[in-house]
Amino acid sequence: MVQRQIYNRGIRSKSVLTAMQRVPRHLFMLPEYRSEAYNDQAYPIGFEQTISQPYIVALMTELLDLQPESRVLEIGTGCGYQTAVLAEIVEQVYTVEIIDNLAQQAWKRLTDLNYQNIERKVGNGYSGWEHQAPFDRIIVTAAPPTLPDRLIDQLEIGGKIVLPIGKTKQDLLQITKLERKLVKKSYGGVRFVPMTQYQQ
C-alpha cells in the first residue's frame, strides 16, 4: 500500500511514510471491510462516517509539515486511523469527535494499540479545543462550508491548518497563519463527509 498508493503518487516525507507503514489500517475498519483495508479507497465506519483513503491521509499529514514537537489538534477523530498516524510522528495529539459512540470505539482501538500521547474529547469541532490552545498544526477531517474562525483563532502565528472546504464541491486547502494574513494553497478536489451537521 505505502509503495504503490502513497510513495508512487508523490508523498516523500519519511516520517509520514514510516507512520503509514506502522499503523495497521485493518484494525480501524469494520469487520466486513477488513479484507479490503489496504485498497486506496474510503470505507464506511458507521454513523454515516468514513475512513479516508490512505493516499488522502498521507497527503494531509504531509501538508501539515509536522515536527516531533508539534502540538496538533485533529477535528474529527472518526475511527482513529488519522489520529494514530499523527501520534506516530508528534509528541502530542489532541483530537475532538462529535459522535460519542464513534469516539469511544476509536479510543478503545488507540488504547489497545498503546498510544499514550493522545488527548481526546467529545465535542463540537467548530469550537476546537480552546482550553488546550494554541496549536501549531490543525487538521480537519470533515468538510465545513467555510473556514471556521474559531479554529484559526486557536492556531499559532506561523502555524498550518489542513482541511477540506466546500459544500457540493470541496477543495483541500493548506493554510498558513501569518501575523497579518492567511496564505492559502489548494491541493485539488476531495470528497469528505460534511461538517455542517456539527455547527452550533
Domain annotation covers residue 44 = no
Domain annotation covers residue 43 = no
What pLDDT does 198 receive?
Answer: 45
Domain annotation covers residue 82 = yes
Domain annotation covers residue 159 = yes
3-state helix, strand, coil in the chain (%, to 5): 35, 30, 35
Split into its structural domains, the chain has a count of 1
Q: With bands split at pLDDT 50, 70 and 90, how would you rate the model's confidence at 168? A: confident
CATH number of residue 192's parent domain? 3.40.50.150
Domain annotation covers residue 90 = yes
What pLDDT does 200 receive?
Answer: 39
Question: What percent of the chain is predicted at pLDDT more than 70?
Answer: 98
Domain annotation covers residue 23 = no
In contact, 189 and 170? CB cutoff 8 Å: yes
Domain annotation covers residue 4 = no
Active site members: 52
Domain containing 166 equals 56-198
User: Is 90 exceeded by the pLDDT of residue 197?
Assistant: no
Question: Model's pTM, two decimal places?
Answer: 0.95
How far is C-alpha 157 from the geometric centre of its chain's CA atoms?
Answer: 20
What's the one-letter identity of residue 21?
A: Q
Q: With bands split at pLDDT 50, 70 and 90, how would you rate the model's confidence at 165? A: very high
- Beta strands of the chain (E only): which ranges? 43-46, 49-51, 71-75, 92-97, 118-122, 135-140, 155-165, 170-177, 182-190
CA distance 140 to 195: 9
Convert the pLDDT of each residue in 48-84 to its tens digit: 899 999 999 999 999 999 999 999 999 999 999 999 9
> For residues 150 and 167, which has the higher predicted lDDT (pLDDT)?
150
Domain annotation covers residue 11 = no
Convert the pLDDT of each residue in 114-149 to its tens digit: 999 999 999 999 999 999 999 999 999 999 999 999
User: Which residues 6+ apart lie within 8 Å of 108 measured at CB?
Assistant: none
What pLDDT does 196 receive?
Answer: 54
CA distance 178 to 70: 17
